Amino acid sequence: MAILDRTVRRVLDRMRLVVRPSATAARQGGHRSPFKASGVEFADHRPYVSGDDVRHIDWKAFARHGHLVLRQFEEERDAFVHVLLDVTGSMSRGAPPKIEVARTLAGAFVYVGMRQFDRARVIPFADELDDRPLAIRGPQDLPQLERFLGDSEAAGPTFFDEAIQQLAARGLPRGLVVVISDFMAPDGWEDGFRRLGAMGHELRVIHVRCQEDLEPAWRGELELRDAETDERVRLRVNDALLKRYRAEVQRHLEAVRESCRKTGGWFQDVDVSMATDAQLLRVFGAPRLRSAAGAR
């Protein structure tokens, strides 16, 4: 079954990525960001104020209305969209598995970016970056995107900050960075987010969760295995222990959310139990992500 099937694409065709100007580059592309200077497309007028560049005064409008106004333009910009996809062992949990939902969301961001002629790529990560990031430039690359996402299996531990250091060493054009993960690794997120912010990227963080993460069906004498490190531990699971576990998970996820906020990023939860269109609308209905109808 296709990850981005016709139903999913119909939803995404109504969506548009809006990226802040500081995270874009002046290139030939489909993404437009407003700038108060001459550009390629007229956008609007605004009243003239002392100190404005008189070259941008609309003298024809002045002749008609008797008021000084400036012409504002939209400069054509190219937004690089980098989707970091968590493919660690814990992503295999859930019904459906978190990795399946994450693949769809990763493909969705790439698809919307591609529709706007932006540069988009998927970069899987676990204990290190995948050596084969996939760049998408147009519809002709969609079959390759489907195969690439389908081959991204959930296995191994998470070392997010180390992966970001590798990314910085390779060179990452400034743009929008979307991190899709269950954030079950205990650390590394704050440093990684801070590095991305320092590199000038705009950050969007998507937390893919399942009921098992917060309410595991564990009781009695058990041997538990870490899905990422394969470490095993025997313990007696009772209500008191589960209460402590839930509190610790909530504390950890709140710390991840706060780390994202400190870098000026945006954080959103998506549950695997939600219908696919509801997941997409939850993500693309967020601030600075809007439908094409709302972007007019």
Tens-place pLDDT, residues 21-55: 666 655 544 444 433 343 444 445 667 666 667 77
CA nearest to 148, candidates 192, 111, 113, 116: 111
Residue-level pLDDT at 152: 79
Contact 124, 153 (CB under 8 A): no
Average model confidence (pLDDT) for the chain? 78
Instruction: Kindly report each contact of residues 282-287 with a partner whose C-beta sits within 8 Å and lies 24 or more positions away, as own/partner.
Output: 283/105, 283/108, 283/206, 284/12, 284/15, 284/108, 284/112, 286/204
Dist CA 24 CA 125 (whole Å): 24
pLDDT of residue 78: 64
- Report the C-alpha gap between 193 and 205 in whole angstroms: 9
Distances (CA, A) of 156 to 159, 207, 209: 10, 19, 18
- All residue ranges of the chain with pLDDT < 50 are 28-43, 74-76, 286-296
Measured CA to CA, the distance from residue 82 to residue 177 in angstroms comes to 5
Beta-strand relationship, 220-225 and 232-237: antiparallel
pLDDT of residue 133: 62
| Separation of alpha carbons 267 and 161, rounded Å | 18
pLDDT at 291: 36
Please name each of the domains of the chain with its CATH number: 6-25+78-287 (3.40.50.410), 32-76 (no CATH)
Residue whose token pair is 């016709």: 6
Determine the pLDDT at residue 42. Answer: 47
Asked whether the beta carbons of 173 and 80 are under 8 A apart, the reply is: yes
* 225 CB neighbour count, 10 Å cutoff: 12
Instruction: List the structure tokens of 9.
Output: 């694409």
Each residue's pLDDT tens digit, 73-110:
544 456 788 999 999 888 988 899 999 999 999 999 99
The whole model's pTM is what? 0.75
Q: What residues form DSSP beta bridges with 75? A: 33
